[in-house]
Amino acid sequence: MRFGIVSDIHSNWQALQAVLADMPEVDEVICLGDVVGYGADPNRCVDLVREKGWPTLVGNHDRACTDVDILEWFNEDAARAIEWTVARLGADRLRWLSELPECDQIGDEIVLVHGSPRDHIYEYILDAATAEANLSLVEGQVCFHGHTHVPGIFRRESGQLLHEYQVGTFKLTGTELVNPGSVGQPRDGIPDASYAIWDRSAGTFEFRRVAYDREGAKRAIRSAKLPDRFAERLDSGR
Ligand code: ZN
């Protein structure tokens, strides 16, 4: 079975459309959370994910839409984007967001979360100490996660922690933290939308990038009068 793995769409309709057009045929698509926040198209993005029936986890921005206490942790611009989003989503989409699960599994071998195995929604796996602590929680398993918007694989090899990334296919070997990157707001310095294909039977994970209509996404953010830096950072990929 082949799975499309997407995360951190962040209301970027143009990026989501490009990923869908680029994605080879798969049996199922899994979404690791943060469908909304930052971008200007929350409704179209939520509706597409729901219509496709993609199993979806809750991200911190999704949760902030339905829990005001969480919003207090957000910086001013991100909080403004959430308030703008909530004002547009409507009760039915908000209910869908509020019911998204925090974690899931595929068989015994794959753990699915937005943040990390230790802290399902909020922890960023960016540094070696955080990666090590979380690898110890998934011995023998692979964790697919998002949240950092930085694609890559954390794994150990001969006692060394490795963080690997390149567009292309990696063999999964077990005890790994694997991030497909962000569809709608990449932060690894490459502005193209990021996602992946997991081939369960072959045990491979393919990182893919696709250019999208960034001008359209930026225009939408600006005409919605969302904070301008959310438009600017689409070009820098930071
Ligand atoms: Zn995110």
pTM of the model: 0.96
Q: Residue 72 has what pLDDT?
A: 83
Q: Residue 91 has what pLDDT?
A: 96
Half-sphere exposure in the Cβ direction for 21 (13 Å, CA): 11
Cα–Cα distance measured from residue 133 to residue 120, given in angstroms and rounded to the nearest whole number: 14
Q: Residue 11 has what pLDDT?
A: 98
Q: Mapping DSSP to helix (H, G, I), strand (E, B) and coil, where does residue 116 land? A: coil
Residues 6+ apart with CB under 8 A from 9: 15, 16, 31, 34, 35, 36, 39, 45, 49, 182, 183, 184
Q: Residue 107 has what pLDDT?
A: 94
How much distance in Å is there from the Cα of 159 to the middle of ligand 1?
Answer: 30
How much distance in Å is there from the Cα of 59 to the middle of ligand 1?
Answer: 7
Q: What is the CATH number of the domain that holds 95?
A: 3.60.21.10
List 168's β-bridge partners, or say none. Answer: 207
Mean pLDDT of 135-155: 97
How much distance in Å is there from the Cα of 171 to the middle of ligand 1?
Answer: 26
How much distance in Å is there from the Cα of 34 to the middle of ligand 1?
Answer: 5
**What is the number of structural domains in the chain?**
1
How much distance in Å is there from the Cα of 200 to the middle of ligand 1?
Answer: 25
How much distance in Å is there from the Cα of 157 to the middle of ligand 1?
Answer: 29
Span 76-121, pLDDT tens digits: 999 899 999 999 999 999 999 999 999 999 999 999 999 999 999 9
Any domain includes 206: yes
Any domain includes 133: yes
How much distance in Å is there from the Cα of 204 to the middle of ligand 1?
Answer: 24
Residue 142: pLDDT above 90? yes
Any domain includes 118: yes
Any domain includes 152: yes
The region, left, alpha or beta by phi > 0 then psi within -120 to 50, assigned to residue 136 is alpha
Any domain includes 3: no
Any domain includes 1: no
> Residue 182: how many CB atoms within 10 A of its CB?
29
Tokens 């955080």 belong to 130
Residue 237: pLDDT above 90? yes
CA-closest candidate to residue 179, choices 32, 38, 61:
32
Residue 61: pLDDT above 90? yes
How much distance in Å is there from the Cα of 71 to the middle of ligand 1?
Answer: 14
Cβ contact 8:34 at 8 Å: yes
How much distance in Å is there from the Cα of 33 to the middle of ligand 1?
Answer: 7
Domain with 65 in it: 9-236
How much distance in Å is there from the Cα of 154 to the middle of ligand 1?
Answer: 19
Any domain includes 81: yes
Any domain includes 151: yes
Q: Residue 70 has what pLDDT?
A: 87
